[in-house]
Homo-oligomer: A and B are copies of this chain.
Amino acid sequence: MSRHFADRLAEACRAKGNALCVGLDPRWEQLPKALRQGHGRQGLEGMARAFEEFSLRVLELVAPLAPLVKPQSAFFEACGPAGLAALQNVLRRAREMGLITILDSKRNDIASTAEAYADAAFAGILVEGQRHPVWAADALTINPYLGRDAVEPFLVSARQAQGGVFVLVRTSNKGAGQFQDLRAEGKPLFEHVAHAVGAWAEENPGACGFGDVGAVVGATHPAELARLREFIPDVVFLVPGFGAQGGSAKDVAAAFRGDGLGAIINSSRGIIAAFRPDAADWEEQVIREVQEAIQVLRSETPMGNLKS
């Protein structure tokens, strides 16, 4: 990882001709039945093994097509320690395949604690003067509620490892507005957060013009997405909510810069849970969903301007 996160990201998107991120959110009841067999009786450890097998297979299917994957920590954590070993293996394999990895765990805490989360994600943990990698992700999602001093350790550790940080700005859930829409000094809270993210991103710009601090902005709020794109032009947007959560390609078009950079469009359930668990051809369906998502995004958004 020897180059600026935003430049590595831009390169990966150009190489594949798209900015689709495949969300790895494995759920037991949505796994292909064949993969569940033999694991169900082993409780959480069996579930962890099934999640790992499934995720590794999905990596093989999507790596030729999409530049990014985003494992959702919650589902791996739900298996206990074995799930986190599975998560490590999935992250490691994704990196080996040249995929950019975003660990979606929405962490934060006061600075002295946030440092432990940050070093686990990026720079590695110091034991007796030696650094040990834990997740070694390319990027991590974080929560802004505690303010800049709590975000700082993530920036420091990410910058040490040429990684990136995506800060929750406007989440994709229906109730997102309860606090995020509260208007202070003439604008909603999420715009205050967006402005702060814009300033943090400017501290360390890549050659492509984007910073190493991005913003999570849901596809389910297209007007706000467009507005934010205008006033924080140098911030990469990680856009969840496309597909299964209701966001269309048209909804996410405004997230991109004219050249097709600046946005990452995530689809999780629309790809890894788009088949019936008993479908014999689930792997073909995963490939088809990825191809269709890329096609519609290329034809209806500036992503089509990415040279592939």
Contact = CB atoms under 8 A, between A and B. Distances in A.
Contact of A109 (B106, B126, B134, B144): B106
Given A149-B175, A182-B184, A120 B40 contact: no
A93 B176 CA distance: 38
Nearest to A190: B145
Given A77-B117, A126-B28, A178 B147 contact: yes
A199 B84 CA distance: 35
B189 A175 contact: no
Copies of this chain assembled into the complex: 2
Contacts of A144: 145, 179
Interface in A50-82: 72, 74-75, 77-82
Contacts of A106: 107-109, 143
Contact of A43 (B28, B116, B132, B240): B132
Interface in A143-200: 143-150, 168, 171-180, 182-185, 189, 192-193, 196
A266 to B, nearest CB: 12
A78 B134 contact: yes
Interface string A6-34: 00000000000000000001001000000
What 6 A-B pairs are tightest by C-beta distance, nearest first? A149-B175, A147-B178, A182-B184, A147-B175, A40-B128, A110-B173
